[in-house]
Amino acid sequence: MFRFQRLATAMLCSFAAILASGCGDGAPPIGLVTGKVTYKGKPVAAATVSFMPTNGRPSWGITDAEGNYKLHWDEDHDGAEVDQHRVTIAFVPGSPGEEAAEAAGKAVISADRKEIITRYGNFETSTLQREVKPGTQVIDLVLD
C-alpha cells in the first residue's frame, strides 16, 4: 500500500509540474496583440500583417476596413510569441480574378499599396520591428 501511495504521489507531482510549465498545449509564451495599420494618416484595409519572431513561428492578422487587426499564432491561439519581431505588410488577392491578374502582371495596384509592398512587404527588407510582451497589448503600425 505504501509503495502505491508513493507512486501515485510521484505521478501527481509530475503531472502538476507539466501543467505548471505551460507545455500542455505546445504553445510558447504568447502575448495577445491587436492594433491599427495606417499609411499617411489613413487606415490600410485588406492587408495581411505578419509578425516574425527572432526564433519561432510567425503570427498573422488581416486588417478590416478601418485598418484594425488581431494577430493569430495558430487556429487555437490568438497572439504572437513573446519576442522581438520583424513585421511585414502585404496584400493578398481577394478573388481568383485578382489572383490571375496579379500572376499575369496585369493587376491594378494603387501607388500607396505599391509603396507599402516595396517598403514593408518582405521580411528580409522590412524596417518595421516591434516587441511583443506578455499579456494584452495594442501595437499600432504607423507607416509613412
Domain harbouring 74, CATH code: 2.60.40.10
Q: Which three cell numbers stand for residue 61?
A: 492578422
Task: Give 66's DSSP letter.
Answer: T
Domain annotation covers residue 6? no
Domain annotation covers residue 56? yes
Answer yes or no: are the C-beta atoms of 30 and 81 closer than 8 Å: yes
Threshold 0.85, pTM exceeds: no
Q: Which of 4-13, 35-44, 111-120 shows the lowest per-residue confidence on average (mean pLDDT)? A: 4-13
Domain annotation covers residue 20? no
Tell me how far apart the alpha carbons of residues 49 and 79 are, in angstroms, rounded to a whole number: 12
Q: Report pLDDT digits (tens) over 56-68.
A: 999 999 999 999 9
Q: Please check the confidence at residue 85 and state whether its pLDDT lies above 80.
A: yes
Q: Report pLDDT digits (tens) over 104-117.
A: 666 667 889 999 99
Q: Please check the confidence at residue 93 and state whether its pLDDT lies above 60.
A: yes
Domain annotation covers residue 113? yes
Place of cell 504572437: 80
Q: Which three cell numbers stand for residue 22?
A: 505551460
Range of the domain at 72: 26-143
Domain annotation covers residue 99? yes
Answer yes or no: are the C-beta atoms of 47 and 62 closer than 8 Å: yes
Partners of 38 in beta bridges: 43, 142
Tell me how far apart the alpha carbons of residues 121 and 130 are, in angstroms, rounded to a whole number: 15
Partners of 138 in beta bridges: 34
Domain annotation covers residue 105? yes
Domain count, the chain: 1
